[in-house]
């Protein structure tokens, strides 16, 4: 899991709009021009959303040799429950009721963890306002919901095989492909488009591709890679704030 933790940290530092707490020792690659990946998962020319200022992304430059300008207004907004649910649903092409349910019964987002996710329901809980700031359990809940949704998508895709919606490029019953394999790069590129509405940058691609190996350098299962890559992008600050 340490690889995943490092990856999550790297991604959380990615937007350039977050607080300046990202660690200096994470020597991440300097920003480069955004690229579009072709069907083979390799950088290709063209592509609209990833090229100019899309307002959607950032560069993993925190702590790098080339720091980028950061927001001075602290106006980044917390994506609350409704948009969080809609965006997860949109990204993974899952209906909201399949994203996450506690005990298979109650919606994690709309019912059980509504308050930590920034919502309120005056009719069922008596709360008349949402929390102004994330609660102490918010980060845990976010991870729980995203991981649940990623696994739900993965299991659906396992049944669909090569026709899988998100993970169709992987053999989910085998081992993860190599870091530079088309399947690896294609999945990561697809996740960026799905969650962040932009093309992945080479530095980000390299960061996430590390997830195909464990700390000892051995390949993980494709199934684990699928879930961890999905979790990494789905819990990035760029996805959770706007």
Partner 1 sequence: MRVGSARCCAMAIAVCSVTAGLGLRRAHAEPLAPTTLCASYPDIPDCTGKVPACSLCHDSTDPPSWNSFGLEVKGQLSAGVPFATALVPALAAVADDDADMDGVSNLAELQRGSSPSVADRAAPSPMSGLTNPRYRIGDYDPAFAFRRVSTLYCGRSPSYAEMSAFMEGAPDDATLKQRMHAALDRCLSSDYWRNEGLLRLADKRIKPVLAFGKDTDILIFEYRLVVGDYDYDYRLWRYGLSEDHDMRELLTAQFHLVQAADGTLQKVTGLIEKPDEKALAGGQPVPAEHRAGLLTTQWFLAYNTMFSPMPRVSAAQAYRSYLGADIAASEGLRPVAGEPVDVDKRGVAAPRCANCHSTLDPLAYAFAEYDGIALSSTPAFGTYNPGRPSAVIAGWNPSAQKSVLLGKPVSNLVEWGKVASESDEFKRNIADMFFRQALNRAALPDELAEFDALWQSAATDGYSANKMLHRLIDTHAFGSP
* Residues of this chain that bind partner 1 (CB under 8 A): 15-17, 31, 33-34, 47-49, 51-59, 67-73, 75-79, 82-83, 86-87, 90, 119-120, 122-124, 126, 128-130, 132, 193-194, 197-198, 242
**Which C-beta is closer to partner 1: that of 15 or that of 223?**
15
- Cα–Cα distances in angstroms (integers) from residue 55 to residues 16, 156, 199, 242, in the given order: 11, 32, 12, 9
Q: Taking the chain, what is the end-to-end CA distance rounded to the nearest angstrom?
A: 28
Distance of closest approach, residue 221 Cβ to partner 1, in angstroms: 28
Instruction: Give the nearest distance from C-beta 52 to partner 1 in angstroms.
Output: 6
Residue 161's SS3 state is: helix
In whole angstroms, the minimum distance from the beta carbon of 10 to partner 1 comes to 16
Least Cβ distance, residue 177 to partner 1 (angstroms): 23
Considering beta carbons, is residue 222 or 233 the nearer one to partner 1?
A: 233
What six digits make up the tokens of 198? 């932009």
Q: Is the CB of 6 or the CB of 80 nearer to partner 1?
A: 80
Of 132 and 159, the one with the shorter C-beta distance to partner 1 is: 132
* Beta carbon of residue 166, minimum distance to partner 1 (angstroms, whole number): 13
Helix (H) or strand (E) holding 106, with range, is strand 106-107
The SS3 of residue 107 is strand
Residues 108-117, buried b or exposed e (16+ Cβ, 10 A)?
bbbebbbbbb
């Amino acid at each position: 899991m340490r690889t995943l933790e490092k990856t999550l940290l790297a991604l959380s530092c990615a937007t350039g709009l977050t607080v300046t707490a990202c660690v200096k020792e994470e020597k991440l690659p300097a920003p480069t021009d955004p690229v579009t990946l072709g069907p083979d998962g390799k950088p290709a020319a063209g592509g609209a959303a990833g090229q100019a200022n899309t307002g959607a992304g950032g560069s993993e430059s925190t702590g790098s040799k080339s720091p980028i300008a950061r927001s001075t207004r602290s106006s980044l907004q917390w994506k609350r429950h409704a948009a969080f649910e809609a965006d997860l649903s949109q990204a993974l092409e899952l209906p909201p009721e399949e994203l996450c349910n506690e005990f298979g019964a109650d919606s994690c987002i709309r019912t059980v963890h509504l308050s930590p996710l920034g919502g309120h329901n005056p009719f069922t809980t008596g709360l008349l306002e949402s929390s102004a700031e994330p609660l102490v359990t918010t980060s845990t809940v976010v991870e729980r919901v995203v991981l649940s949704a990623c696994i739900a998508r993965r299991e659906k895709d396992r049944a669909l095989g090569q026709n899988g919606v998100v993970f169709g490029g992987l053999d989910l019953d085998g081992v993860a492909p190599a870091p530079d394999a088309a399947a690896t790069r294609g999945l990561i590129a697809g996740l960026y488009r799905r969650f962040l509405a932009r093309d992945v940058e080479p530095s980000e691609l390299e960061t996430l591709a590390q997830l195909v190996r464990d700390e000892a350098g051995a390949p993980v299962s494709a199934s684990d890679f699928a879930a961890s890559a999905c979790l990494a992008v789905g819990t990035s600050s760029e996805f959770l704030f706007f």
